[in-house]
Amino acid sequence: MLRYFTLLICLFVSSVLFAQKNVNIPAFTGYAVPAENDEDLFFNKKDSSVEWKDANQKIEFHFFIRDTGTININLLAKNPFSGSTILLEIADKKFPVSIPKSNSYKICKAGNIHITQSGFYTVTLSANISANKSVATIQSLQLNGDAVNGIHFNAKPRRNAASVHLKYSVNDSNKVTQFYNELTVPKGFDHLHSYYMACGFARGYLGIQVNSENERRVIFSVWDAGNEAVDRNKVADSNKVKLMVKGEDVFADGFGNEGTGGHSHWVYPWNTDSTYKLLVTAMPDTITRTTIYTGYIYLPELQKWKLIASFKAPKDGKYLRNLYSFNENFSGVNGQLQRKAYFGNQWIQLNNGKSIELTEAKFSYDATAKAKDRIDFGGGVENNKFYLWNGGFQLANAKFGDSFVRKENKQRPIFAWTKNADSLSQSKKDIAEIYKAVEAKKIDTTGSINGVFYKIIKEGNGNLVNLKDTVTVFYKGSLLSDGSVFDQTKDKPAVFPLSRLIKGWTIGLPMCKVGGKIQLIIPSGLAYSIRTMSTKIPINSIMVFDIEVLEAKR
């Protein structure tokens, strides 16, 4: 009766730090290798044991031993069939363990080892002999002896590695419109159920994910307003994030269960040891209290940027803030594996166009680490890049709040938007939309030149405009999609060096003479393309400009 009472205490203890010479490590804290396909079939929820049926799988238990000395190792197990033998391995020692035929748990003796140094240790169980439908049902791994004093293991069912974060040092007064980061996952650290997030901010995050054995993704999500944490159907429309536009072949929908919001992902086979450039932008509107957030990734194999998605967030109207990165293990079935990622060359751009390199970040972690359920995590600086790692059962090399500093490398990013990854397909869509508008008599054209459609409304009496001219014009800019006006001159004309304007103007305006009027229909690729330039101009917008040329000076 006393032994049974002691067993119950060990099974339900919530602390992971023990100071006694008898320790039971619950079986549900172990890991199957290969990972189980269905946790509900692998774990017996009634007593939190492991139903071990696949003889090709192994079971691992991980723990940290502080003290030296002897440890005696046993299993508490049962099997309704006879003839099952398990091989238990630890620290280069091997012990065959016979599992007696029984419908109740029995202590199955393994053997003793002598611990000569502190550190993480792994017990591996493999099916030595199993001719039946079950290898064993294991209740716990039993350890006793001098060396178990102060032993550490995760006694909770959640087997995920702790999530770890970098928070970048940015002055809150900065009006940040762009956050750029470079992300590299080294070979061997790209395990299934991993999310490496490069560009996080107060309302969302952008990064890359290992979603399955055959699928990898780029993920960009933005949270709704309000406090609903689970069900997006309960979120009021006024609080919901709205999808503005998404890139070619990008999936977009809502999400829940970790807050709610707008989600987008693009299936993309990213590679280890390749550096990926990621960017998020913010376009706030203080009048409507909304902000348009947009996520991009640069594809090194194409040397082009790819639009993931653009979302309008309600009850916002703010710039990018609380900038951060993280490593996450989002399923516990392989939480014993180590994940690692490098984050380098961080930059922000302010609303006045000024660029600032970020060279300092603070280290933090999630509730799993705060509760000391897991102590295997860390980060730092290597080769002038920040790095994060989690899992793998190695001792932590960083503390909560540690500050990491790298040197400036002064490699400010350059963005070329017009020739983006989807520019060819978007160009075809734009041309089709323009022809449809012509057929519907929404617009009229005299002709086209280098992709820009135009109509001479009034012949001028002066010289043709030259690309090198500074022009004085009255103009009105509207969207082909709905005719809404996004910009126009009023009482006074505008004066521009033509060569500094969008490409559609530099191509189309030289078709007009001074004193004349022209209408330009400009496909998105010759305008702002996938850039978010204004809350009034959606990404990939076809623009219509009505222009009167008053003067042109060389």
The per-residue pLDDT for range 383-433, each reduced to its tens digit, is 999 999 999 999 999 999 999 999 999 999 999 898 899 999 999 999 999
Domain 423-553: give its CATH code.
3.10.50.40
132: confidence class by pLDDT, cuts 50, 70, 90: low
- Regarding pTM above 0.85, the answer is yes
The per-residue pLDDT for range 204-259, each reduced to its tens digit, is 999 999 999 999 999 999 999 999 999 999 999 999 999 999 999 999 999 998 89
Are both 164-405 and 423-553 of the same fold?
Answer: no
2-148: which CATH topology?
A: Jelly Rolls (2.60.120)
Question: Is 172 exposed, middle or buried, given 0-12, 13-18 or 19+ CB atoms closer than 10 A?
Answer: exposed
Beta bridge pairs of residue 318 = none
Contact 259, 229 (CB under 8 A): yes
Domain 164-405: give its CATH code.
2.60.120
462: confidence class by pLDDT, cuts 50, 70, 90: very high
Q: Report the pLDDT value the prediction gives residue 535, as an integer from 0 to 100.
A: 86
Mean pLDDT of 112-121: 95
Query: Any idea what the Cα angle at residue 162 is, between residues 158 and 168, rounded to 5°?
Result: 150
Tell me the domain boundaries of the chain: 2-148, 164-405, 423-553
Backbone φ/ψ region at 14: left (φ over 0), alpha (ψ -120 to 50), beta: alpha
